[in-house]
Amino acid sequence: MQIREVPFLRLGGLFEADDLAAAQDVMRTAMDPSTGFFPLPEETRFQDALARHEGAARAVVVNSCGTALDCCMAALEVGPGDEVVTTPLTFVCTAGCAVARGAKVVFADVDPVTLNLDPARVRERMTERTKAVIGVHYTGLACDIDAFDALAEETRVPVLYDAAHAVGAKYRGRPVGGRGLASCYSFQSNKNMTCLGEGGAVTTDDEDFAERVRRLKTFGYVYGGPSLRVASIGFNYRMTKPQYAVGLTQLAKVDRVIARRQRAMARLGDLLADVDELILPAGHGPEHGSHLYVVRLDTDQVAFDTGAFTAHLKDRYRVGTGKHYPAVWSWEAFRKLGYTAEGCPHAAKACAQVASLPVFAQTTDEDCAYVAWAVKQTIADLRKNA
C-alpha cells in the first residue's frame, strides 16, 4: 500500500456554511452602533436546545468544561478537608477542579474492560470526608450509571459526570445529561462539536443546583424580581455571542457527526479484529458518543512499548495518534502533592498502553484501511527489530 498521511486532527467536528453564516449574522448585527453584543438571546436558545438534546431539565452554558467542573465544586461548597473521588484516566481538570478548591482527590481504579471508573472501587475509597464523586464517560462510553445511582442513594454523596467526551451519548436508551446530580460538557475544538474553540456546559435536573451554577457564572447576579441583586460571589464564565450562535448550528449537526464517527470506528474495529497485539475498545455502538477510538497495545505480548509503537506509526507510516491519557498522578503538579498509582493497578496499566487512532467525522473507508494496514505493518516492523 502506498504511504500517505492520516493526521490526528485538531478539529473534532465539522465547520460548514451554516456555522459561518451564524457567526457572520452576529457580527453583522453587532456592527449597528445601537445594538452591540448584548443582550444574548442566543444563550437562552442554545441552553434550551442543549438541555433537550442531552435529556436534562436545565443547561447552564459556560466557557469550558473545566469551568463547568469548577462551578459544580463551588456549588457543592467543596473545600479544605473534603475529598472527591474520581478516575486517574482522564484529563487533568477532572481532578484539578477539586484540588483547586483545597480538597483532596482520591483516585479509584477503572474497570479493566471499559476503562470507566468502577463504582465498586469508588465505594472502597469513600470516607466520611467524601463530598462528591466524579465519573467520566471515557471516550464517549457511558459509565455504569445505574450502579452510581445506587451508590449515591446508599451514601447520600452526589455523583457528577465529566461528559466532555459524551455529547450525544446514551445509557440504556436515555441521554446521559440528566443523570446524577449534574453532567459537565466540553465544546473545545477537538470535541465532536465546538463553539469556536472553547465552551462548556452543566446539565442537571436539579433546578436549585442549576441556579447556583448560573449565579456563579454571572457575578452572582439573581435575575428577576423588582431589582437586580448580587446574592453570592461569582465570576464572568459566559461564552460570547458568536460562540452561542455557532453552538446552535453545531448542536444541530452533532448527531450526524457522531454517526459518521461510529461508522468509521466500526470499520476500523473490523479491520483490526485479527490483531492479537491490540486490545480494541469496548462498547462501540449506537449509544456511544464516539469521541475517541482508543486502542491498547497488549504489552504482555510484545517487547516494545506504546511510545515506540506510536512513534514508528508516525515516522514510518505518517499516521498521527493521540494519548488519552497519561495518568493524572503522573503530571508534575500532582506528583508534587504526593499523588501516586496506589490502589489503581488497572488504570496504571491502561495509561501505559493507550493510543488514540485518528477517527473523525471526515474519516473515509480508505483512511480506515490505510490506518489498519499501517498499524499491522508497524507491529510487524517492531517485532522484527525487537
**Which cell numbers in the block locate residue 347?**
488504570
Are the beta carbons of 304 and 382 closer than 8 angstroms?
yes
Angle between helices 365-385 and 241-272 (to 10 degrees): 60
Helix, strand, coil shares of the chain as percentages rounded to 5?
40, 15, 40
Round to the nearest angstrom and report the end-to-end CA distance of the chain.
24
CB-based contacts of 224: which residues, under 8 Å, 6+ apart? none
CA dihedral 88, 92, 95, 97 (to 10 degrees): -170
Residue recorded with cell 508534575: 332
Burial class (CB in 10 A: 0-12, 13-18, 19+), 378: buried
Record the cell numbers describing residue 317, joined without a space.
Answer: 507510516
Type of residue numbered 67: T
Question: CA-CA distance, 188 to 114, in Å (whole number)?
Answer: 24
The catalytically annotated residue of 191, 217, 241, 253 is: 191
What is the DSSP secondary structure assignment for residue 59, as one 8-state letter?
A: E
Residues 6+ apart with CB under 8 A from 118: 108, 109, 110, 111, 346
191 assigned to active site? yes
Yes or no: say if 280 and 1 are a contact pair by the CB < 8 Å rule: no
d(CA 98, CA 124): 19
Could you give the CA distance from residue 76 to residue 158 in angstroms, rounded to a whole number?
Answer: 9
Amino acid sitting at position 184: C
Query: In sequence order, which ranges of the chain are alpha helices (DSSP H)?
Result: 17-30, 41-53, 65-75, 92-99, 119-125, 145-155, 207-217, 241-272, 306-317, 332-336, 345-353, 365-385
Cis-peptide, bond into residue 325, ω within 30° of zero? yes
Instruction: Report the catalytic residues.
Output: 191
